[in-house]
Amino acid sequence: MLAAGAPQMRYGENTGPVGGVTPPVPTVTAPVGSLYGGSDLQGGNAKLPDVNSDDAEVKNPQLVNGQDADADLGLYLDFNSVEKPEPYRGDYGEGDSGPRTFEYEKLNPDLFAPPATDFGSVPNAVWPLGLSHNRAGYKGKSGWARQQNTAVLPNAKQMAGVDMKLAPNAYRELHWHTAGEWALVLKGCVRLAAIDDESRSFTDDVCEGDVWFFPPGIPHSIQAFDKGVEFLLVFDQGDFDENGTFLISEMFARTPREVLSKNFHSDVDSFKDLPQDELYIFNGTKQPHDIQQQNTTAPGGFLSGNSSYTYHSSQQKAYQVPGGSVKILDPSTFPIAAMFSAALVTIQPGAMREMHWHPTSDEWDYFLQGSARATIYAAPQAGQTFDFTAGDVGYISQADAHYIENTGTDDLIFLEVLQAPKFSDVSVAQWLALTPKQTIVDHLHLPDKLLDSLPREKTILKTGNANLTALAGGGKAYI
């Protein structure tokens, strides 16, 4: 006798009759009935239904704190506080009795019950890497990689991302790209090796919080240390495909043995043990901890200083401001990465990255910890609010105004990457502060008290009330 089936994972859903099916369906041992209905069911032939018999109403919806407040306030709605969220906001919305998975709505409350200030159409701005295909490395539990590019986030035209894990001492095999590769080490440590087109060599060890950059066409290898490594790669091509990388194993496999023998001045038998398949990610021999044992003397010397492919940003002290901290890394201190400018931002509960836009570049974001939301304003009158959690990629087009608000109870940590020779933005608050007051009053009818209090310097972050529904109870959004 067969054992009973294990229960399926449950993420919460509406149950019962739906779409003309009333589960559970009967169990039969042989086919019964017909696959098709008859012509007597066509409109005009069929018996009219009793339109009062089916019910799409949601009885006694359970609302979360702030859900019945003015929809223009756009309060953050914590749908995790109820079992079954409903898409109401103020005087807008209606219950959802149809097919749904509650977990999606709990992760994306501003899509499910958007602020009334949202309007029009904004390109999708979020892709969870947890929904990306996770490609395993070569056999032996060597690692994995998953990617985001325009195939899954079509508006991300300037940049693509890859999250990669290498097992202890595993390699990302020797390779090169047509795109520039910028990377942030998320966990662990790794050894890098490369040469450039001027006969110069490079090796360095980087750990959590450090950055590397390899320009297009520069061949390099990546090997994890004893405790493995996970890192984030950002490429300067939106349609970059991690599976389209140039690999040393494939180059040798696709070259005639006669040519290999002639090129390396070695007997053809030297190549009889070449890999039969690409290595991609594979387990390797433990490297010596003393990097000097792997430094190679190159005719052009060793790459260092402004020519270095690494930047030890883990040793950079963060710039602290009310509401959190920021580290900026751009070509002013890491010149080899000529068009990569990035900020690693930490935002305390209730605070936000101030309203701003980037004048020359799209913005690629990666959320390392916490939860957030952003409303993106796109010309001339569209606006949409998106929600983000750890492992999500965000993408915002050049010049689109936005903020990023911490919607959790812990610090929010995210990476903000630009394709620009310096990290730059336009602060909305500073713009108003440095514009003649009468001009602002004539446009927006704002009170003098507000305009007089605006800072003339960028604040980068804005502090806020950690109670995100304080306005619903007569409180304030700021502190």
Which residues are tagged catalytic?
416
Are 263 and 148 contacting, i.e. CB atoms less than 8 angstroms apart? no
For 397-432, give the DSSP string.
-TT-BEEEEE-SSS-EEEEEEEESSS---EEHHHHH
Q: Which region holds residue 99: left if phi is over 0, alpha if psi is between -120 and 50, else beta?
A: beta
Amino acid at 67: Q
- Catalogue the E-assigned strands of 275-329: 281-283, 310-311, 319-321, 324-329
**Contact indicator for 248, 173 with CB cutoff of 8 Å:** yes
CA dist 215 and 213 (Å) reads: 6
Q: How many CB atoms lie within 10 A of CB 42?
A: 9
3-state SS assignment for residue 456 = coil
Phi then psi for 106, rounded to 5 degrees?
-70, -30
- Cβ atoms 242, 133 nearer than 8 A: no
Looking at the chain, how many residues does it have?
479
**Amino acid, single-letter form, for residue 160:** A
Q: Which residues pair with 391 in a beta bridge?
A: none
The answer to whether residues 145 and 240 touch, using CB atoms and an 8 Å cutoff, is no
Q: How many CA within 13 A on the CB side of residue 90?
A: 16
**Are residues 123 and 154 in contact, defined by beta-carbon separation less than 8 angstroms?**
yes
Radius of gyration of the chain (CA): 28
- The answer to whether 433 and 459 have CB atoms below 8 angstroms apart is no
**CA–CA separation, 54 vs 52, rounded Å?**
6
Place of tokens 């508006």: 155
Q: Is 289 annotated as a binding residue?
A: no
Strand 181-195 and strand 211-214: the pairing is antiparallel
**Distance from C-alpha of 88 to C-alpha of 103, rounded to nearest angstrom:** 17
Residue 177 labelled as part of a binding site = yes
Q: Which residue in the block uniquely carries the two structure tokens 């502060």?
A: 433
Q: Which of 48, 50, 51, 82 is nearest to 66 (CA)?
A: 82
Element at 260 (helix H, strand E):
helix 257-264
Give per-residue burial for 313-322: e unless 16+ CB within 10 Å, then b: beebeeeeee
Query: Which residues fall in the annotated binding site for Mn(2+)?
Result: 175, 177, 181, 220, 356, 358, 363, 402
Query: Which residues fall in the annotated binding site?
Result: 175, 177, 181, 220, 356, 358, 363, 402
